[in-house]
Amino acid sequence: MLGIALLALFELCGVMTVFAVSRKRALTIKIWFGLVVGLMEMMWLPTLYAFAFGFTERAHILSLASAFAVGALLLALSRGKASDPFKDKTARPPIWLMLLLLVPFTVLSARLHYTHSLREIDGALYAGQSTFGDLCMHASFVTGLIGQSSPAEYTMLPGTRLGYPYLVDALSSSMYLYGTPLNLSIVIPGVLMTFLVLWSFLLFSWEITKSRIASALSLILLVFSGGLGFLYYFDLNGALDPKGLGFGSGRFAAIEAALHNYYNAPANLPDLNLRWVNALCDLLIPQRTLMAGWTCVLPALYMLYTALQRGEKRDFVLLGLYAGPMVMIHTHSFLGLGAISLGALIDALIRGRDRRKQTLINFGLYGTIAVLIALPQLLVWTFPQSLGGDSISFLFNWVNNNGDGTLRDPYLWFWLKNVGPMFLIIPVAVYFNKNARVRALSLGSLMLFLLAEFVVFQPNVYDNNKLFWVAYLCMLPVGCGFLCRFTFGKRHPVARLLTGLVLLVVMTQSGFISILREVNSGETPNSILSLSPVVRYLHKERTGRELEHQLYPYQVFSQSQTAAAEFVKQNTQQDAVFLSDTNHNNAVASLTGRRIVCGAGTYLYYHGVDYQTREEDVKKMLSDPEGNLALFTAYGVDYVYLSSYELTSGASPAVFGSLFPLVYEDEEYWYDPVRIYAVSERARVKFETEAANLLQ
């Protein structure tokens, strides 16, 4: 497919560029970093050319040519020059460790991405538990960017600039433009980026700890993150759950709920104030912007850590050039990197008094370059949306705050049950760590943690989690290094080893159960877990009956909706405006890229945009079209889309049929009908002309 070939060519250009600027690095480092740079080029360059040519094939051809020209030129200029040497071969990252861990974790992530991203089954499209909410929004960006000029608009709120960091969806849109199916346009970059996140974190952990065991432990704790939520599942007397928010009665009720119920996995239980979630199934799989942000921020942290050791201007200049474009990839990751860098600067100035001038010059170059690249993005996209939406506010202790200054849980218990023992281990590890660079990153991570504890940067308070996690990614290898030194210490080795094993089990149980649940939510038609003899036995012990096969519960678009969407793509104008309901799984917005009068408030509210008037007008037009014909004209409505969602909002096919000509109704899906009516003159003329041509 041309879309996959386009991705591969951009990746090749990224690898060429990195090979040029870092000729003497280890091969694994150059390939890893080159793949990240290639993705960044594919996210950014077509968007830049879209200012002049729109998001078209022409813009992509010019983008690819530019990426290739930069890589080839740098290779030519750097021929014969040495840079960034690994003088000590023992410092090279362990390849076998990477293969041993990255292969199974990547296979797991690939399975989740595939089953959770518009998987087609008998003509209908499905998601998983964690992607059921956000997937449709991202799909609307992927399909809606085609043909638009930069800066793009929301297709689910026409006339409103798209200030949300959408470049990861722009990459998928590029593949979609070149013929890759929509689901694969989402899945393939998702798998690649998740793989690069895991690879990046393993390399970053290795760079900090230089320990195979500590690096492996860091990656395992990242994948199986989730806190102490699993304790609630064994809380038979209700000591941890006095308000009765648990999972029913019986020995195995909680386990059954965890494996089968909607959002009952122990890493993500809002009713019990468990919000840290699992990094793989609750962050990387569903939150595509965060996934892209981590893909970029982990190499940036790696570059910052190594630059602090070398102290050369060149490293800081490259870091500034790399960090600047991150704003519209993932703003939270860019902000997190900035806070950590500021803390590292302060620490370097305090500890390195004899090198203060050079430190100021290095960080000055880094910061100036990054800000100069970031500022246009902030002015064009971020500030108009975030500041206009009154997104920034002050609130202590994140989601643990009731909003009136009181806390839902005691402060320490809240963080301990959410993050787990590592929340206590990391400060101790930093205290005993004598590495100056680790101390610098630690101060930066502390500053980021405090910033996220007191300032909310978006309407959804929960999203501050994206800042906390950057600090956690930075410090987790430090905690794991300390834990390994403690576990394998010379004094009382057996006791220490047992303690370490107990901690490992405690720190991975919530994540393990959460991932099992997510795998279970993505299996169809018969769940892997429901076919497991162990689970079947537990279910029979609990209920006294055999476990029936679990049907796939997360259908996003029915057969009739996907068929109607295909008709819309083939027979309506690219810039056509549809009146439809504001349900989050809107087939017109997500599958066709056409504009709708107003999308789901569950998306738009948290993006800080003004949509309420349009939402009310949609209700009026659907329930009383004849009395609100002026609104159809005001919003430039070309078509009306009626499915079961619109019917439940009061729309009447008989009324719409008396006002506008019916241009689509598929009798094959009479049990779940979709009807489309032509409203505007250009829509009517198009179908009248086509009907006349058919008669001839």
DSSP-derived secondary structure for 382-394: IHHHHTTTT--EE
**231, 213 Cβ separation under 8 angstroms:** no
Closest CA to 306 of 213, 210, 426, 372: 210
| Interstrand relation of 455-456 and 595-596 (parallel, antiparallel or unpaired) | unpaired
Greatest Cα pair distance, the chain, in angstroms, is 93
* Confidence at residue 386, expressed as pLDDT on a 0 to 100 scale: 73
Closest CA to 509 of 686, 690, 278, 313: 278
Closest CA to 163 of 613, 586, 615, 603: 603
Q: Is the pLDDT of residue 637 over 90?
A: yes
Grade residue 696 by pLDDT with cuts at 50, 70 and 90. Answer: very low
364 HSE (CA, 13 A, CB side): 7
Grade residue 310 by pLDDT with cuts at 50, 70 and 90. Answer: confident
Determine the Cα–Cα distance for residues 350 and 357; give it in Å rounded to an integer.
Answer: 12
**34, 15 Cβ separation under 8 angstroms:** yes
* Confidence at residue 529, expressed as pLDDT on a 0 to 100 scale: 41
- Among 224-233, 301-310, 368-377, the range scoring the smallest mean pLDDT is 224-233
Q: Is the pLDDT of residue 690 over 70?
A: no
Q: Is the pLDDT of residue 212 over 60?
A: yes
Token pair of 240 as six digits: 């941890």
SS3 507: helix
Question: Which comes out higher in pLDDT, residue 446 or 384?
Answer: 446
Q: Calculate Rg over the CA atoms of the chain.
A: 27
- Among 50-59, 258-267, 329-338, 392-401, the range scoring the smallest mean pLDDT is 258-267
| Interstrand relation of 639-642 and 577-579 (parallel, antiparallel or unpaired) | parallel
- Among 148-152, 203-207, 466-470, 554-558, the range scoring the smallest mean pLDDT is 554-558
Closest CA to 539 of 257, 267, 246: 257
Determine the Cα–Cα distance for residues 159 and 155; give it in Å rounded to an integer.
Answer: 8
Q: Is the pLDDT of residue 80 over 70?
A: no
Closest CA to 576 of 693, 689, 691, 684: 684
Q: Is the pLDDT of residue 530 over 80?
A: no
Token pair of 361 as six digits: 């010059």
Helix, strand, coil fractions of the chain, as percent rounded to 5 = 65, 5, 30
Grade residue 540 by pLDDT with cuts at 50, 70 and 90. Answer: low
Task: Give the chain's mean pLDDT.
Answer: 88
Average pLDDT over every residue of 299-313? 93
Other Cβ atoms less than 10 A from the Cβ of 265: the count is 32
Maximum mean pLDDT: which of 496-500, 516-520, 562-566: 562-566
Q: Is the pLDDT of residue 90 over 60?
A: no
* Confidence at residue 83, expressed as pLDDT on a 0 to 100 scale: 46
Q: Is the pLDDT of residue 544 over 70?
A: no
- For residue 187, report the phi and psi dihedrals to the nearest 5 degrees: -70, -50
- For residue 262, report the phi and psi dihedrals to the nearest 5 degrees: -75, 120
Determine the Cα–Cα distance for residues 630 and 650; give it in Å rounded to an integer.
Answer: 19
Q: Is the pLDDT of residue 459 over 60?
A: yes
Question: How confident is the model over 572-609, as pLDDT tens digits?
Answer: 999 999 999 999 999 999 999 999 999 999 999 988 88
Token pair of 74 as six digits: 């740098």
Other Cβ atoms less than 10 A from the Cβ of 629: the count is 14
Q: Is the pLDDT of residue 349 over 50?
A: yes
* Confidence at residue 97, expressed as pLDDT on a 0 to 100 scale: 86
Grade residue 24 by pLDDT with cuts at 50, 70 and 90. Answer: confident
Token pair of 525 as six digits: 């038609």
Question: Which comes out higher in pLDDT, residue 696 or 556?
Answer: 556
Average pLDDT over every residue of 613-631? 95
Question: How confident is the model over 108-154, as pLDDT tens digits?
Answer: 999 999 999 999 988 899 999 899 989 999 999 999 999 999 999 99
* Confidence at residue 413, expressed as pLDDT on a 0 to 100 scale: 95
Question: How confident is the model over 227-252, as pLDDT tens digits?
Answer: 998 888 775 444 444 444 444 454 45
Determine the Cα–Cα distance for residues 444 and 343; give it in Å rounded to an integer.
Answer: 4
**173, 83 Cβ separation under 8 angstroms:** no
Question: How confident is the model over 140-192, as pLDDT tens digits?
Answer: 999 999 999 999 999 999 999 999 999 999 999 999 999 999 999 999 999 99
Q: What percent of the chain has pLDDT over 90?
A: 69
Grade residue 87 by pLDDT with cuts at 50, 70 and 90. Answer: very low
* Confidence at residue 84, expressed as pLDDT on a 0 to 100 scale: 46
**468, 281 Cβ separation under 8 angstroms:** no
Q: Is the pLDDT of residue 658 over 90?
A: yes
* Confidence at residue 79, expressed as pLDDT on a 0 to 100 scale: 72
* Confidence at residue 143, expressed as pLDDT on a 0 to 100 scale: 97
Measure CA of the first residue to CA of the last residue in the chain; give whole Å: 38
Determine the Cα–Cα distance for residues 337 and 335; give it in Å rounded to an integer.
Answer: 5
